[in-house]
Amino acid sequence: MSEDSRSCKVEGTVGDIAGDAKTQAAGSVREATGTAQNLYGQAKDAAREATDAAVSYAKDAYENSGDTFRDGSQAIAKKVQDNPLGSMLIAGAIGFALALLMMRPPRRPRSAGDNG
């Protein structure tokens, strides 16, 4: 084998190694890109699921609050029908207490010289 022949083989081998390194590097970049895209997709899906769950929870709470209000109103109406005199006395007592609170003079802040 001549010197030129060996030189060509060495250059060919070096070229193959360099080509393989480029191919491996490109493969590593593609793999890293794929992994990043996968993680991004998973995060996006998790955020969408959390948002959907929050919307669903809020919608259920809103719908059930109307039922609770209706149920409470119906329960109060039944109590009033069952005991009209007691309901009138309770309503009167509440009105009287509110009137007392509204007629009270406003409190003045204490000054530094006040002792009591």
The string of pLDDT tens digits covering residues 27-54 is 788 888 888 888 888 888 888 888 878 8
The string of pLDDT tens digits covering residues 55-79 is 887 787 777 777 777 788 888 888 8
Q: What are phi and psi of 111, to 5 degrees?
A: -90, 170
Find, among 11, 104, 65, 83, the residue nearest to 3 by Cα: 11
Find, among 92, 98, 65, 91, the residue nearest to 76 by Cα: 91
The SS3 assignment for 51 reads helix
State the Cα–Cα distance between residues 116 and 108, nearest whole angstrom. Answer: 13
Higher pLDDT among residues 26 and 86, named by residue: 86
* Close Cβ partners of 80 (under 8 Å, ≥ 6 residues apart): 87
State the Cα–Cα distance between residues 54 and 57, nearest whole angstrom. Answer: 5
How many Cα atoms sit within 13 Å of 75 on the Cβ side?
A: 6
pTM of the model: 0.38
